[in-house]
Amino acid sequence: KQEVTQIPAALSVPEGENLVLNCSFTDSAIYNLQWFRQDPGKGLTSLLLIQSSQREQTSGRLNASLDKSSGRSTLYIAASQPGDSATYLCAVWATNAGKSTFGDGTTLTVKP
């Protein structure tokens, strides 16, 4: 059974800092890994999707990497802004599953 862990559970940084969010998973046989953002009381917004054959994906100030062999992914946020404050979730789609398994998320607060 795939288990997904996100550390830390919460993170507070001053505006302008570069930061890294971590996601680890127990079963390295995956199809893809997807990073989402969730604002309070809202749905999930897809940020980046990394296929199993890829090592990283970039969108603007966001860069996500994938290392299947170690069961890890990182989401790098450059030059953080208060508007980046949200909960970030990673979801892993294992090859023996018909759906994605989510981590519990990292709640990020960027202070002005």
Partner 1 sequence: NAGVMQNPRHLVRRRGQEARLRCSPMKGHSHVYWYRQLPEEGLKFMVYLQKENIIDESGMPKERFSAEFPKEGPSILRIQQVVRGDSAAYFCASSPPFKGAGELFFGEGSRLTVL
Reading phi first (left if > 0) and then psi (alpha if -120 to 50, else beta), residue 56 is in: beta
Give the interface with partner 1 as residue ranges (CB under 8 A).
31-32, 34, 36, 41-46, 49, 89, 91, 93, 95, 98-105
Which CB sits closer to partner 1, 77 or 94?
Answer: 94
Nearest distance, CB of residue 86 and partner 1, angstroms: 14
Shortest gap between Cβ of 87 and partner 1 (angstroms)? 10
Q: Measured from the CB of residue 63, what is the shortest distance to partner 1 in angstroms?
A: 18
Scanning the structure block, which residue is given the tokens 């953002």?
37
Query: Which CB, 53 or 69, lies closer to partner 1?
Result: 53
Helix (H) or strand (E) holding 36: strand 30-38
Buried b or exposed e, range 76-111, using 16+ CB within 10 angstroms: ebeebeeebbbbbbbbbbbeeeeebbbbebbbbebe
Nearest CB to partner 1, comparing residues 11 and 49:
49
